[in-house]
Amino acid sequence: MARKKRFLSVADKEEAFRIATRALPKWYAREITLGMRDDELANALERVLGIFGESCGPGRLDVAHQASGLKIWAGWHIVNHHQERPIFQGCETLAMARYIYGIADPDDTQIPLL
């Protein structure tokens, strides 16, 4: 049975990111607490995303990911990672990791605005 193609909401994209990176808070709990520079975070994400992986199931998002380029694809249909554009790639993936997991950047000298 074919899946209907539908647009991803912001919540869907966040859930896809969590699915693709679910090992990050387990493997790097200490580093996340202390903060990670961009290069450290990129290396951690490469390890978590792996060469290539995919997660799918009935009624679930189809999520594909790869370390090369820090790419994550997602859809409510079977994702074709050869033809579709990733929902996160490169610095977008780093920024989303910082947002989702609250990872500070020790190199950021900006004073927090409260």
- What is the DSSP secondary-structure string of 40-65? HHHHHHHHHH-S-EEE--TTS-EEEE
- CA 67 to chain CA mean position, Å: 10
pLDDT at 86: 97
- Residues contacting residue 77 through CB under 8 Å, at least 6 positions apart: 3, 4, 5, 6, 62
Six token digits for residue 19: 């699915």
pLDDT at 107: 85
pLDDT at 104: 92
Per-residue pLDDT tens, the chain, 114 aa: give them: 455 668 899 999 999 999 999 999 999 999 999 999 999 999 999 999 999 999 988 889 999 999 999 999 999 999 999 999 999 999 999 999 999 999 999 888 776 666
